[in-house]
Amino acid sequence: MSEDIIEKNQEQNDFNTKSNDYEEQKPIENQVAEGGRGWLVIIGTGIGAMMGYGMINSFGTYQTYYKNELYPETSSQSLSLIGAAQSTFIYILNPIIMPLMYVVGLRTLLTCGCALMIVSFFGLSTATSDSRWKIYVFQAVIYSLGHSLVFGSIIQSPMEWFNKRRATAYSISFVFSCTGGVIFPLIFKNMINKHGFKWTNMTIGFLYIPLSIAVIFLIPQRLKPEHIHKPETISNAQFDIHKFKELPSRIMSNIRSWKPVLRDWRFLMFLLSNIIGGFGIFPAIFFMDYYGELIAPGAKIVSYLVMMYNAVGAPGRVIPGMLADKIGRANVLFIWLFVCGLSIFVFWMTSIPGEDMNLYLAYTIFFGFFVGPYFSLAPACLGQVFSHIEDADAKLGLYLLSLSPGPLVGCVIAGSFVPTESGDKELLLDSFYKLTAFTGSMIIAGSLVVLLVRLSFTRKIFTYI
């Protein structure tokens, strides 16, 4: 199909179901499979998300154990850098990983990534109180590198199989991360006292083997010729040793492709919203378990905080995704993020004076439900609100890169508020006023930037955006 025909279809494709004020810039719908073997891809990316983000969402359990048992002399700020590195790596390596997918193919990349994650857990199982460096090497570096290789396909593959139902597809995929966020803390909490740190991590490592096999065989599904809508697709990419010579030029070409899309001020504001929101979201996740132990040490319910957060995150990803396909992805993203930030002030901050676990449980549930679209819905917004198909890779790459400062910088700033070396409980509790004020403000500020972008298209409340 010629470029002028594509352009004509894009201009005629009105994406506002109620008015003609806003047009969606998207590929022609009959070029996208919208299902079929794409659902196998979603199951595979879901399992990959469980192995990746499911474990990252469980890091608070590890951090609390490190602080209270294995490395009590180490500050929470230093320990939180492990969880921050896990998230930061997958975003900051994106400019290299995306071109690499086209060179080596999905199956090769997934095999290498899964192997590194498995090795990381067997290596982590050898860590002791005298070998703190191992948790940084295996958990912060090797695991993060492995997840980075898998994450590229998780975020990229659904875009080649879905358009109209893309938000729903992404939401279903990321529900698996919530499942992992329930299963892994449950395994850790139930095994750590009975079998020790070594066998707990070895068990998780063995569990990753069948999960890896599923990821390696489910995600790489070939697109039919009628569903190929760009010169190269990662779904059909195969390992080619000769293409390695092209890898440096591909990486530079990928980076150069960012320049034209950066002229779109709305897209720049969307990136800004991700950066600001990440400063608040990641510390709120990583310090969740620690605060619970602080106000109710030894309480059984504290063992299940991270699991509760992840459990409610499943409907918190599916429901907004389905709703977004009906009323607009930017609309839903703003609402969910705003309520997410508000829940920190309403429930978490108010739980501090009386050390009220009931209020904190309410916060865990609200936050877990409303934080989901930050991860699952924002990528789908790119295809609906911003992207032509020809610049989709560039905008996705910049979007992922914009997420990299949040985990690292946000956790460093938030961790500086908490004097974990102090044994004064009152001083520790008071420090959480600063932490909650910071995290809540950042998330709300990020949501308001999303609202600004949305209103820049139209101020009509019921417009599909």
Q: What is the pLDDT of residues 103-149, one digit of tens each?
A: 888 888 999 999 999 999 999 999 998 888 999 999 999 999 999 99
Q: Mapped to the 3 state alphabet, what secondary structure does the chain carry? A: CCHHHHHHHHHHCECCCCCCCCECCCCCHHHCCCCCCHHHHHHHHHHHHHHHHHHHCCHHHHHHHHHHHHCCCCCHHHHHHHHHHHHHHHHHCHHHHHHHHHHHCHHHHHHHHHHHHHHHHHHHCCCCCCCCHHHHHHHHHHHHHHHHHHHHHHHHHHHHHCCCCHHHHHHHHHHHHHHHHHHHHHHHHHHHHHHHHHHHHHHHHHHHHHHHHHHHHHCCCCCCHHHCCCCCCCCCCCCCHHHHHHHHHHHHHHHHCHHHHCCCHHHHHHHHHHHHHHHHHHHHHHCHHHHHHHHCCCCHHHHHHHHHHHHHHHHHHHHHHHHHHHHCHHHHHHHHHHHHHHHHHHHHHHHCCCCCHHHHHHHHHHHHHHCHHHHHCHHHHHHHHHCCHHHHHHHHHHHHHHCCHHHHHHHHHHHHHCCCCCCCHHHHHHHHHHHHHHHHHHHHHHHHHHHHHHHHHCCCCCCCC
Average pLDDT across the chain, whole number: 82
pLDDT at 386: 66
pLDDT at 97: 84
Q: What is the pLDDT of residues 194-218, one digit of tens each?
A: 999 999 999 999 999 999 999 999 9
pLDDT at 121: 96
Q: Which residue has the higher pLDDT, 10 or 327?
A: 327
Q: Which residue has the higher pLDDT, 338 or 53?
A: 338
Under CATH, which number does the domain 14-24+32-457 receive? 1.20.1250.20
**Whether residue 274 has pLDDT greater than 50:** yes
% residues pLDDT > 70 (the chain) = 88
**Whether residue 450 has pLDDT greater than 80:** yes
Domain extents in the chain:
14-24+32-457
Instruction: Determine the average pLDDT of the residues in 281-293.
Output: 87
**Whether residue 26 has pLDDT greater than 70:** no
